[in-house]
Amino acid sequence: MGVNLKHSGKEGMALAEVKGFTLWFTGLSGAGKSTLAGMVAENLRQQGRRVEVLDGDEVRQNLSQGLGFSRADRDANIQRIGYVAKLLSRNGVVAITAAISPYRDTREHVRAQIPDFVEVYVHCPLEVCAARDVKGLYQKAMAGEIGQFTGVSDPYEEPLAPEVVVATHRETPTESLAKIMDKLYNLGYVSAP
C-alpha cells in the first residue's frame, strides 16, 4: 500500500517507493475545483506526500501562453497539463489538476496516457456557479464581453464515469473532501482516508 521501503545497499540509502497518481478535477468555472484541490493537497502533504497542484490559470501562464479558448487551443492546453501530470505522477508525486477541461474526449485521451488516474467531477449547476461568480467572469460572459465561456457560450461535457462526483451546491467543502479522500483510500493511493 502506497509506501514500500527499498534499501539500496552500501551507502545505507533508502528509497521510499511512494505510488504517485493524478487527481484530475473537472467542472465549470466557480464549481469549486481549486478550493477542493487545495484542500486535498493540504491533507496529502500532512500525510507526508509530495503534491503538486496544476491550476488552470497558472499552467496556462507557464505552458500555453498565446493559446486561446477555441476547441483546438483548449485541447492543446489540456494535453500539456496531462503531459506534466504524467511526468510527476510516474515519479511518485501526486499531481492535482484543476482546469475546467470541458471536453470528454480530451479528458479520456489524457486518462489513457496516465496509468494512475482519478477523475473528480465537481458538479455544480450553472446558475449556482454564476451566482457565486468568484472571478466576476460570468457577469462579463453573460453580457457578451467574454466569448467562448464554458457553460455560457461554450460547451461543458459532463464525465460519464468519473471515479468521484462531488456536488458543491449541496455539500460542504469538508464533505466533498471526505468523499475524495475515501475514494483515494479505497483505491489504495493513500494510507488514511
Name the site residues for its own copies (rule: CB under 8 A). Answer: 2-3, 5-6, 8, 11, 13-16, 18, 47-50, 52, 62-63, 65-66, 76, 79-80, 83-84, 87-88, 91-93, 191-192
The CB-of-19 to its own copies minimum distance in angstroms stands at: 12
3-state SS class at 75: helix
Burial class (CB in 10 A: 0-12, 13-18, 19+), 62: exposed
The least distance separating its own copies from the CB of residue 72, rounded to whole angstroms, comes to 10
**Rg, the chain, Cα only:** 18
Task: Considering the complex, state which of residue 76 and residue 165 has its C-beta at the smaller distance from its own copies.
Answer: 76
Q: Is 8 one of the catalytic residues?
A: no
- Residue 163 contacts residue 118 (beta carbons within 8 Å): yes
Nearest distance from C-beta of residue 139 to its own copies, angstroms: 32
Q: Which of 34, 64, 89, 101 is catalytic?
A: 101
Q: Which is nearer to its own copies, 113 or 139 (CB)?
A: 113
- For its own copies, the closer of residues 15 and 134 by Cβ is 15
Place of cell 465537481: 122
Q: Which residues on adjacent β-strands are paired with residue 51?
A: 94
Q: Which helix (H) or strand (E) holds 55?
A: strand 51-55
Quick one: 2 or 173, whose CB is closer to its own copies?
2
DSSP state of 107: H
- The catalytic residue positions are 101
